[in-house]
Structure 1
Amino acid sequence: MSGPEFNAEPGPGVPVPVALVGAGRVAHAAHLRELRDLRHIIRLAAVVEADPDRIAAVRGFPGVAACADLDEAVAAGARAVLVCTPWWTHRDVVLACLARGLPVLCEKPVSLDPAEIEELAAAERAAGVPVAAAYMKRHDPVVGLFVEHCRKRLARGRRLVVDIHDPNAPHQVAHLLPFDPPPFGPQPPPAEEALARALGPAADAGQREAYARGLGGSLIHQVNLVHAVLDDGPGLYGTLLHADRWAGGDTVSCRWRPADGLVVDATHARLPEHRRYREILEFTAEDSVATLTLPSPYARDEAATLHVETWDAATGLGTRHTHTAEPGNTGFRRQLVAWARTLHSDAAPPLPGLADVRRDTLTLHEAASRLG
């Protein structure tokens, strides 16, 4: 790593001191509880948060500094930054980190504006330190098996389906937060302004809402997984067949055809009365079906499950294999471990970065622009 503020990089075996910017829902529901168990790898040195109640809720981290800004966090010893602020603030926060030479792990969506992503990429190149995107599903080993299976059979693939039933309601995370979760409601004015800039004046309120939530707020994870399957082949951008929304915009669905023989369908349905999150990805090839089931991203007592069925037309014999991982070792946890390795060593495998963000965002930006 390089950069004026990262020259004091700790050596192997020494926890990386990081700052958390934003101590809201995702920080408490996911990152902080993992950081408590990973103190031998990552040390929370500072929290940058304007809300005093949220700062007070950061318990169990001895010596953590409550800071008003990044300069105070650097003075407290932070040498990298985990960004968990609302998505429409990410551009300013990440640019401020890069200006100080601080590597970043930024929660998704990093941005929903392609122009902002290009700006961040230019700043990243100038700073010489990386911006990693928090695609935590990519760090689940069962998800990795699914991606590997699909890649091997891509030439024989016919359909890849994503189906998400999402309560997207306060009860999903209420038990994980030391404060009342924010109610589901309209986008705040700064978010509306950011969406208007991203989609332009031709987009209506329904398109902006669907882009912020069902598309950019959720399906961006799964589009990233589809792009991981497609690897260096054609991406989804420019291959959109249709995009639609219904149920007052609470459900969105898209279909792409990235190759003549392959169709990708993705649907996100907000169903607040459902008590559990449900996510299924299914890849159908000429000789197999792979079905990946993922629990709520906030669940620690469940794990991803992959069923792979294959058959031989000549013999009529088939096989079924099931893969799962131990509960508790979540994608959030594995992501933090992988990030810490990149901060310790340039030789560590890089995390998904702004090139991934650009491809995923362009894909869903196009879908939002064409929503029926």
Structure 2
Amino acid sequence: MRERTAPRRGGGSLPVVLIGAGKVAHAAHLRAIRDLPHTVRLAALVESDPERVAAVAAAGFPEVPVCGTPAEAVRAGARAALVCTPWWTHRDVVLDCLDQGLPVLCEKPVSLDPAEIDELLAAEEKAGVPVAAGYMKRHDPVVQRFVTHCRAELPAARRIVVDIHDPNAPHQVAHLMPYAPAPFGPQPPPAEEALRRALGESAGPARREAYARGLGGSLIHQVNIVHAILEGSGRALYGRLLHADRWADGAGVGVRWRPDPELVVDATHLRVPAHRRYRETLEFTAASSVATLTLPSPYARDESATLHIDTWDEAAALGARGTWTAEPGHTGFGGQLVAWARSLTEDAAPPLPGLAEVRRDTLAVREAALRLA
């Protein structure tokens, strides 16, 4: 293990290297970093594309050193790494960061291959610094309230439903990008190779596509939320799969799990390119309450999460509704950066979702991909 380069406790703003300056970096992370100057500081950039390098400078970071490797970024002053490269590169990039002793916040999916995740877990233990997963929805206060309510009502839970309408189209982020976003298209060859390793050679193109997009690329976020609700209950999704389906020529994918005889979990992702707005709904039904969480696009700043909790008293024949929402612009990306920085600089701060959760989530969605009808 190399000499530890992680930030000192109580060391002020966290100096980070941004590795990869593509869509998610420009649409979310860079603006969050600008909003949090006393929490996170961009100390270095690892990016080989000149257009993207210039775009980072124009986005308010003209003096940030541009480096070729995490090792160079450490010499430039970085003490943690924000990994925003394409998902199929994450294994190599995270391993390079851990070799330099850099704690990592890696965009999702960290990996879609359980073997790679096991390799990262071993490297994390050897390096002695944590790898956090980019489950930014977990840092939205309205989502946190939803999870807290569901955990309290879990003994009486009957159903959890996830429903996503996703344009998954350039117009979702075009207004946030300094250059034209890439069009929706087939997975590039390195991604196809990674999917073959993850699913096996016998999995055909339809399964690989569903795994990369609807299951591993999107629903894995909500699977993580469901796992957060089930935490400590002895219930799980992996090994409790009832069925998984594709429809609309692969535009839709749906999964049903039964964690125990009293509870089912249904999750669907539907790609609808003509829709102008992303829509996500999670509904938790218990014996005497229903909690409904609606989430906008993770890149939207003019919308926010809304939670309705309906409860009723059968004896009194009375019902009540509580509603919670956040101010527009209060996205999970900002909360995630704050939580990450605190987890690395404050002794009492809780850890972020890490590789153990990534492995649990990946096993569940991979099992669904392999069982797709």
Query: Which interval holds the TM-score relative to the shorter structure?
Result: over 0.9
Name the Cα RMSD after superposition: 1.2
Q: What pairs with 1:10-49 in structure 2 (closer than 5 Å)?
A: 10=8, 12=10, 14-49=12-47
In the alignment, which residue of structure 1 is the partner of 2:331?
330
In 2, the alpha carbon distance for the partners of 1:148 and 1:78 equals 35
For structure 1, list consecutive stretches of 5 or more residues without a partner in the other structure: none
In 1, the alpha carbon distance for the partners of 2:40 and 2:2 equals 20
Q: Aligned letter for 1:341?
A: R
CA 1:349–1:11: 2 relative to 1, 3 Å: closer
In the alignment, which residue of structure 1 is the partner of 2:285?
284
Q: Aligned letter for 2:3?
A: P
In the alignment, which residue of structure 2 is the partner of 1:6?
5
In 1, the alpha carbon distance for the partners of 2:42 and 2:188 equals 30
- Per-residue CA deviations over 1:209-235 (Å, capped at 9, x if unaligned) read 000000000000000000000012221
How far did residue 22 of structure 1 move?
0.3
How far did residue 259 of structure 1 move?
1.1
Count residues with an aligned counterpart: 370
- Per-residue CA deviations over 1:17-45 (Å, capped at 9, x if unaligned) read 11000000000000001111111111101
CA contact (8 A) 1:13 1:40 kept: no
Q: Does 2:172 correspond to 1:172? A: yes
How far did residue 63 of structure 1 move?
2.5
Q: Aligned letter for 2:44?
A: A
In 2, the alpha carbon distance for the partners of 1:143 and 1:259 equals 24
In 2, the alpha carbon distance for the partners of 1:218 and 1:257 equals 21
How far did residue 328 of structure 1 move?
1.3
In the alignment, which residue of structure 2 is the partner of 1:114?
114
How far did residue 148 of structure 1 move?
1.0
In the alignment, which residue of structure 2 is the partner of 1:69?
69
In the alignment, which residue of structure 2 is the partner of 1:365?
366
CA contact (8 A) 1:287 1:310 kept: yes
Q: Aligned letter for 1:17?
A: P
Q: TM-score, normalised by structure 2?
A: 0.97
- Per-residue CA deviations over 1:148-189 (Å, capped at 9, x if unaligned) read 111111111111000000000000000000011001000000
- Per-residue CA deviations over 1:98-129 (Å, capped at 9, x if unaligned) read 01100000000000000000000000000000
For structure 2, list consecutive stretches of 5 or more residues without a partner in the other structure: none
Larger CA deviation: 85-94 vs 66-75: 66-75
CA contact (8 A) 1:110 1:357 kept: yes
In 2, the alpha carbon distance for the partners of 1:202 and 1:312 equals 53
Q: Aligned letter for 1:56?
A: A
How far did residue 286 of structure 1 move?
1.0
Q: What pairs with 1:291-330 in structure 2 (closer than 5 Å)?
A: 291-330=292-331
CA contact (8 A) 1:3 1:129 kept: no
Q: Aligned letter for 1:22?
A: G
CA contact (8 A) 2:11 2:345 kept: no
In the alignment, which residue of structure 2 is the partner of 1:210?
210
CA contact (8 A) 1:16 1:42 kept: yes
- Share of identical aligned residues, percent? 72
Partner of 1:215: helix, strand, or coil? Answer: helix
In 2, the alpha carbon distance for the partners of 1:260 and 1:53 equals 54
Q: Does 2:34 correspond to 1:50? A: no
